[in-house]
Amino acid sequence: MLMIATTRRSSGTCTMAASSSSSPDAPPEYEGFLIRPASDSAAAEAAAGEGGHMQMLSDLGYSAQDISMVGTDGWILLDPSKVDPDARHGGLAALGTPESTEQILQDFKSRGYDAEPNYVMTAQVVPNDALYSSIAANMRLINAESAWDISKGSKSVKVCVIDSGIQFNHPDLAGNVITVHDATSKPNNNEAGAPAENDVHGHGTHCTGTVGAVGNNGIFVAGVSWSVSILGCKFLDNAGRGTTATAIICINWCRQQGAKITSNSWGSRSPATDALKAAIRASQDAGHLFIAAAGNNGIDIDNNDFSPAGIKLPAVIAVGAVDSSDRLAYFSNRGKKTVHLFAPGVDIISTYPTNTYKALSGTSMATPHVSGAAAVLWSYRPSATAAQIKEALLKGVDVVPGAALSQTGGRLNLRKSLQVLQNNFPLLDVLQDLDAASRPSRTSLEATFTVLHWVTRHSTTCPACAQLLQDVQLSTSGVPRAGHGTTA
């Protein structure tokens, strides 16, 4: 999980205090402002006219070098080094207090702009180099081993890890990582930049291994999804710091690359900004799941700001952390309305730069378990919607005491989530594979009878199965109608 640090600003500069010692009431750190013309405002008309944003901002005293475009919906980032309140905002006090920040925002709004702080996010985990004997405890806890008898994943499913980059040539990752892009290198471009071959920080490589380290290759670890196509987008710099603006660039890039899932082990004790919500909503509209760490503050986020896990959108799944005994991790945020489920997040062994492994703890470590599980589910039911995958994840949990303060009251169970999909879509795979216009093969007929037999056995516990036994007709010649005297 990534945590926000606190800051004090003076004359446009900032210093970062250690996030572990920050006061819960300290103002969140930010770097500059995200602004766009408010709808039906004079600023919007100016932006749409000749010169667009450039002319509009020139009128306020900014030059082209002062701004960066963020996303595709009109948001721009003002260079924090150029945000001089004394020079450009009528002698306002130096930034650093909630009051002065609010003054800056109100000044922009009075000129016809939507304005939000560009919040800073930093990586924070709890390292532990011991407990290597428990290397597979997390996979056993989520019942992954029995799930792998059914599905180990598929390269057809793309997961995008938004983090500090990935060591993509790590021997346990190279077979599954497609590419890694750097959103920190081109701040003036909507697209991510050049390939980021190395993850200096290590956080992203660790999370990636849990999602999809290559399985059954005789090396050290296996991910939840043995086979998967992993994309990486580096939004945290080598010190583990990123901002709302660079996160948005990554979210948009992952969507453009066709990822079905983003794994987001980062966050901020700040309100959810409209710009960030808009990027997630665009991915949601593309059929995407946004899986996010609930945070490491040990607080109830029903009553405290935490973003992006606290964003109330259907695509978002907020993940808390339990230990190997299903006890609530001491650091994990919780919330009966906001956190959806829990997953293993204590002493998780995974890949780490360079070509090594490390044990780390945090909701950062819990989140990729759920991301990997979603990938396995989608590989098993490729035509399932994001809502159906989310439903399977949440309905398949094991109810455990440590997860009581969540919507489900449960911890991830991959095998049970697969069972939810089996109950919801008993005939899906075979019906998709059969070509009703062609002569049936022996294989297709055998597959059909196998599924009909499964439906018959489950008709008392699966309402959809009972209905299918009455209603379904397989038009392939030679296949008897279900419910008319023949079962396999």
Q: Which positions are annotated as active-site residues?
A: 163, 203, 364
Cβ distance 180 to 250 under 8 Å?
A: no
Q: What is the number of alpha carbons within 13 Å of residue 217 lying toward its C-beta?
A: 18
Question: Among positive and negative, which fits the CA dihedral 321, 327, 329, 333?
Answer: positive
CA–CA gap between residue 154 and residue 376 (Å, rounded):
7
By C-alpha distance, which of 253, 290, 246, 228 is closest to 118? 246
Please report, as a single letter, which amino acid is at residue 367.
T
CA–CA gap between residue 392 and residue 387 (Å, rounded):
9
CA–CA gap between residue 122 and residue 164 (Å, rounded):
10
Start-to-end CA distance of the chain, whole Å, equals 50
Both tokens of 449, joined, read: 């009878």
By C-alpha distance, which of 383, 381, 71 is closest to 255? 71
Angle in degrees, 0-180, between the axes of helices 414-424 and 363-380, rounded to the nearest 10? 30
CA 83, distance to chain mean position in Å, is 31
